Structure 1
Amino acid sequence: MSEWKQKRFWTEVSVQEDEDGYAVALDGRRIKTPAKTPLILPGREMAEAVAAEWAAQEEGIDPLSMPFTRSANAAIDKVRTQHAEVADMLADYGDSDLLCYRAESPQELVTRQAEAWDPALDWAESALGARLEPRSGVIHQPQAPEALERLRAQVHALDAFRLAAFHDLVSLSGSLVLGFAAAQGWRDAETLWQMSRLDELWQEEQWGPDDEAAAVEAHKRTAFLHAKAFHDFA
């Protein structure tokens, strides 16, 4: 049996300016979040992206085809109501950042990690005022508390929409530094995503690609690139 979907019930989709931002309306009625909160978006570009998703729906509404709408709902219904908890969870990545845990061998992989990841750590020291140090091996070694606190303060300073995007940038890449690098445009999102996959790419070179892993990676890559776009519209 096919899954039931709510049918399209509107004809016109429009963007309406609001004193707090922008709303999207279906035949003049403004959209609300699943929690029945008004869906007020911070910028026109984001509102137009949400409106385009609703306009593209045909007979049945497919939420999976509406990433901007889903991200906006999450920002309002989840992140805004749990801002401190979400910020703390993401800031904790700094103490176990992907870029800081390096292979001990083979030397080719050690060199590749250093060439790709050291510049990102250098950038974080310059742009974010926090130096994270690389370690060899997988055993946890704490980072300097003052560096972690500087990063934590900057995560907490993000508004709900940017924090919602930042959540995906960090959790998908496994790196607080790469999350900030994407948000602040240090490198383009595709380059940063490939940097986060350095170890997986190495494994593929040694053992060949895996179709199931490739499908998972493609899904995560799409989500990472979307998160960057959503952050830039916020």
Structure 2
Amino acid sequence: MLRNLGRLYNRASCGVMQRWPCPYQRGQACLPVAVGNSKAYSNATSERKKFYQDVSISQGEEGLFEINLDRRKLKTPGGKLFTVPNEALAIAVATEWDAQRDTLKFYTMHLTTLCNTALDNPTQRDKDQIITATLKYLETDTVCYRVEEPAGLVELQKNEWDPVLDWVERRYNHLGSYNFWSLTGLEYVITQLKSVVLSFGLVDRHLTVEQAVLLSRLEEEYQIQRWGNVEWAHDYDMYELRARAAAGALFVHLSSESSTVKRKLLQD
């Protein structure tokens, strides 16, 4: 089914791969830069001087976990109280805030961004709508888009992508088992890797982060081997993509976690 869809897309697109639109989830989401009643927010690509010293978590109403900066409660860009469903995810988010030094580098805080997306739901979609949107990404899935030349790249795509396609066709039938938060994370991973197939492989631990990123950049890596590259730019793009993909996969896992983490945040 996936291979047939890829072939149909190839003919329709005349070999031109389209970029995937994904408002709010490609690192452009707003992040809160203040707590309490303040409504000052910043774009995720900006930085700001660090304004707090201590980070902690607490459990509030209905068992949800909150993030506290100097004992003041964190809020979302939409003004909601920043809450997550379990302690494991709260610790991971708090660690992002604690890792910031003199300035807040919002573009490194992927888990915080994903939580804001799930809480504020800026596109006002329900679970079924996210599933429908996710499946539409198959129309431009990286591993379904095959070249006809050069022969070396054709063979490389066949050898590296076909085994993942075989696995995903055996493994997945539907997305209904994912909760809203997990679907938010999964969609984020898909927009980074440009592939539903590779995202399933990563989230299901069939692929490592390094493997998933390499497979998503297969054609680029092939061209680099032939023609060379600007080393620092290539490395930066690759590591940034790894960071985003890893954060998205971790978000899916943590937002599905139901057990309570026993250890305390930032315990010496």
TM class by shorter-chain length?
0.7 to 0.9
How far off is 1:82 after superposition? 2.0
- Report the equivalent of 2:242: 221
Aligned residue-pair number:
207
Aligned AA (1:206): R
Higher mean Cα deviation, 211-220 or 114-123? 211-220
How far off is 1:6 after superposition? 5.8
SS at 2:48's partner residue?
Answer: coil
- Report the equivalent of 2:196: 176
Q: Distance in 1 between matches of 2:179 and 2:89?
A: 15
Match of 1:127 among 167, 171, 179: 171
How far off is 1:159 after superposition? 2.3
Alignment of 1:17-166 (within 5 A): 17-18=59-60, 19-78=62-121, 81-83=124-126, 84-129=128-173, 150=174, 154=175, 157-166=177-186
How far off is 1:46 after superposition? 1.6
How far off is 1:80 after superposition? 8.1
How far off is 1:213 after superposition? 5.0
- Report the equivalent of 1:137: none
Q: Distance in 2 between matches of 1:55 and 1:127?
A: 38
Q: Distance in 1 between matches of 2:177 and 2:120?
A: 19
- Report the equivalent of 1:230: 251
SS at 1:82's partner residue?
Answer: coil
Higher mean Cα deviation, 55-64 or 165-174? 55-64
- 8 Å CA contact retained: 2:65, 2:83: yes
- Report the equivalent of 1:132: none
Aligned AA (1:169): V
Q: Distance in 2 between matches of 1:195 and 1:108?
A: 15
How far off is 1:102 after superposition? 1.6
Higher relative contact order (CA 8 A, sep 6+): 2
Gaps of 5+ in 2: 1-45, 256-268
How far off is 1:202 after superposition? 0.6
SS at 1:24's partner residue?
Answer: strand
SS at 2:252's partner residue?
Answer: helix
Root-mean-square deviation (Å): 2.5
Gaps of 5+ in 1: 130-149
How far off is 1:227 after superposition? 1.4
How far off is 1:22 after superposition? 1.6
Task: Report percent identity of matched pairs.
Answer: 27
Q: Distance in 2 between matches of 1:87 and 1:8?
A: 39
How far off is 1:127 after superposition? 0.7
- Report the equivalent of 1:12: 54
Higher mean Cα deviation, 189-198 or 36-45? 36-45
TM-score by length of 1: 0.77
Q: Distance in 2 between matches of 1:4 and 1:175?
A: 30
Q: Distance in 2 between matches of 1:210 and 1:109?
A: 21
Q: Distance in 2 between matches of 1:36 and 1:51?
A: 19
Aligned AA (2:146): R
Aligned AA (1:186): H
TM-score by length of 2: 0.68
Aligned AA (1:175): S
Per-residue CA distance 1:96-151 (angstroms, 9 max, x = gap): 3221222222332222111111111111111114xxxxxxxxxxxxxxxxxxxx4x
- 8 Å CA contact retained: 2:110, 2:248: no
Per-residue CA distance 1:149-184 (angstroms, 9 max, x = gap): x4xxx1x55323212221221111111111111111
How far off is 1:81 after superposition? 3.2
Higher mean Cα deviation, 81-90 or 25-34? 81-90
SS at 2:79's partner residue?
Answer: coil
- 8 Å CA contact retained: 1:45, 1:233: yes
